[in-house]
Structure 1
Amino acid sequence: MEDMLVKPQVNSDEVFKLLEELFKEPVERIEEAPTGKIKRVYFFQYKDKKYVIRFSDNDMEFKLEKYVQETLQGEKFPLPNLLYSGIYNNFYYAISEKVEGKPIHTLKEKELKVAMPSVMEALIKLHSIDITAYEGYGWLDYNMKGTFNTFIEFLQCFFSEDQEGFWQGWYELFKESFLDYDIFSKLYEKMMELAEYCEGRRYLVHADFHYNNIIINNSRIEGVIDWGKVSYCDYIFDIATLILEFPDYNLLEEFHTFYKERKFDTSNFIERFLCAALCNSLDGMRFWAKLGRQDAYKSILDNILIILNKYDVTI
């Protein structure tokens, strides 16, 4: 869904003009943040506090963020406070408090282990949100309903040949890049075979729970950002994303014990994890193939093959 969007063209002078209209006193230190292909992001300071303003050509992420913020009201969840949102020059914008700290992917093993309890507590609060009022699986629509009737439909659509935006024509990668059709197809088939274990399990998931999106400060999770991929599916997908970030740290058993002790459904935990790990890996493989990064592609492929071998799964 995000991949259909285009990064807005908004310069610092325009940002200053907008902020001048919104705030009673002058803002300071406006600087553009390094971001991906979807949003334009600037940092700024107002009355000795730091803030972030994000621009997008679609307001869905900001609506999702507001939905999560309102749903978790009263809970101690590390979601940056969303202060303003609106439209400027045909682009949507949102202003929130800036989270200070280090992205989780920069942590050493010892730092990660100290911070992990707070990360797990944050995740389980998210996965405990009651979504029984909303139907469906996969990406959310403007009514906060899932856009697919079943989880398997969602998974099939995610990797379908017919795509728009960033993934339009992605099957050409099998001919024009190092993306290997045979191995990709075998991994896809195994993922779909395991998908039955995830069917019927509906939780609110962040769906991009790793890398720069988890900010750690003083050995605790300080903020979870980038809510553009929020979905309804098995909570194991958030866990798998984080575990694949740190493949050598043996986190799966810790998560299994943690969720089981808190009375979550942990049946077929390994099968569900493998389905999510395959989905994440296949998406990463095609992404790096599109960007021409064979080293990153090979690293992901090697890692998922090691995981499958560890659990005696043949493809």
Structure 2
Amino acid sequence: MTAYEKPTLETSEVEVVLSKHFDSIVTGVTSLNGGNLSAVFSFLVFDKEYVIKFSDLAGSFETERFISDLLTSQGIPFPSCLGLGEFKSFNYLISEKISGLNLASCSPEQQRQLLPEVIQLLTQMNHIELGQTHGYGFINTSGNGAYSSWREHIIAVNAEDQAGTFWDGWYDLFKTSCLEKDVFDECYNRLLAYSSYNEPYRCFIHGDFHQFNIMSNGQRITGIIDTNGKYGDFLVDLATLDWHLRNLDVIREYQKYLQQMGISIPNFKERLIGAKYYNGLIGLRFYAKMGWKDAYSGLRNELLNLTK
């Protein structure tokens, strides 16, 4: 299996798409870095900034529109969706642009100072009202979870058959990449054991909550972007943040904030371990598929030592 390559488009093609949506003159179309699965461009209309994203993964943006409405309607600073469409073999989504740069662009000291606000926003997002939705795991275009339980979601996402998805044919990675089947199987069995602690909880999970998807102007957090939204135990997001900001004592700061707010989390340690194995298995496959051997090795060793 070769490394996944996100869509590539010329600026002129993007301008053609935007001309269908905006009567006014569109200027400053610029390709943006970031985004492993989508090609992303920013542009201006009357000096107001917007973003357009292109993907060749079916159905990806209908769900994002639902999530945008769900979050923005409850005060979460997330880009408002302005339009969906198709161009050639791609789907695209147009949205408002959150001001600022990603948190990764901030200095280590700025990141440390902003962490309490990040945790506050994370907690607020994880506890939004989910309305009449049901199900666990990935949010589909109707706004529901794709599975009847968290365990069913875990089994499905780690199954060999992933036809029609980003992970189609992923078992080939055991032969063509650094992905080791004995390591994967060991971590998968540990995940199943610990997932019983995560199963009772159904909240909104961002699914990719790290410093490249958190926006800031250096003084405050301005918003969040790019979810891989799902329903389940919100500690999945905390595990993601802790993995990416490992020098900032994220877990300690999170627990301190919960204590201040009088929030109690039953079985915190076991649920966090379950969340780390869940994220970790996705990470192992992703790093292997992208050919990121050093990242794979670091995550592999952390997972194997997680319960020692």
Q: TM-score range by the shorter chain?
A: 0.7 to 0.9
Q: How far apart, in 2, do the equivalents of 1:72 and 1:282 lie?
A: 27
SS at match of 2:116: helix
Q: How far apart, in 2, do the equivalents of 1:177 and 1:14 lie?
A: 35
Shift of 1:299: 1.6
Q: Which region of structure 1 is more displaced relative to structure 2, 175-184 or 280-289?
A: 175-184
1:31-80 deviations in whole A, cap 9, x for unaligned?
Answer: 22234453232211222222211223467443334333433446442212
Determine whether 1:180 maps to 2:183.
no
Contact 1:119 1:220 in 2 (8 A): no
Contact 1:105 1:245 in 2 (8 A): no
Q: How far apart, in 1, do the equivalents of 2:65 and 2:289 lie?
A: 32
Contact 2:49 2:96 in 1 (8 A): yes
Q: Structure 1 residues 62, 109: closer, same or farther in 2, change over 3 A? A: same
Q: Structure 1 residues 206, 160: closer, same or farther in 2, change over 3 A? A: same
Equivalent residue letter for 2:40:
V
Per the alignment, residue 192 of structure 2 pairs with: 192
SS at match of 2:153: helix
1:171-225 deviations in whole A, cap 9, x for unaligned?
Answer: 2333333322223222221111110000110001111111421112133221211
SS at match of 2:166: helix
SS at match of 2:20: helix
5 Å-filtered alignment, 1:135-284, equals: 135-164=134-163, 165-227=165-227, 229-262=228-261, 264-284=263-283
Instruction: Mark the runs of 5 or more structure 2 residues left unpaired by the alignment.
Output: none
Determine whether 1:129 maps to 2:122.
no
SS at match of 2:161: coil
Q: How far apart, in 2, do the equivalents of 1:192 and 1:52 lie?
A: 39
Equivalent residue letter for 1:224:
I
Q: How far apart, in 1, do the equivalents of 2:278 and 2:186 lie?
A: 12
Determine whether 1:53 maps to 2:62.
no
User: % of aligned pairs identical?
Assistant: 32
Q: Structure 1 residues 218, 184: closer, same or farther in 2, change over 3 A? A: same
5 Å-filtered alignment, 1:87-106, equals: 87-89=86-88, 91-106=90-105
Shift of 1:136: 1.0
Q: How far apart, in 2, do the equivalents of 1:173 and 1:89 lie?
A: 30
> After TM superposition, where is structure 1 displaced by more than 6 Å over at least 4 residues in a row?
none
Equivalent residue letter for 2:55:
S
Shift of 1:280: 1.5
Shift of 1:7: 4.7
Shift of 1:6: 8.4
SS at match of 1:254: helix
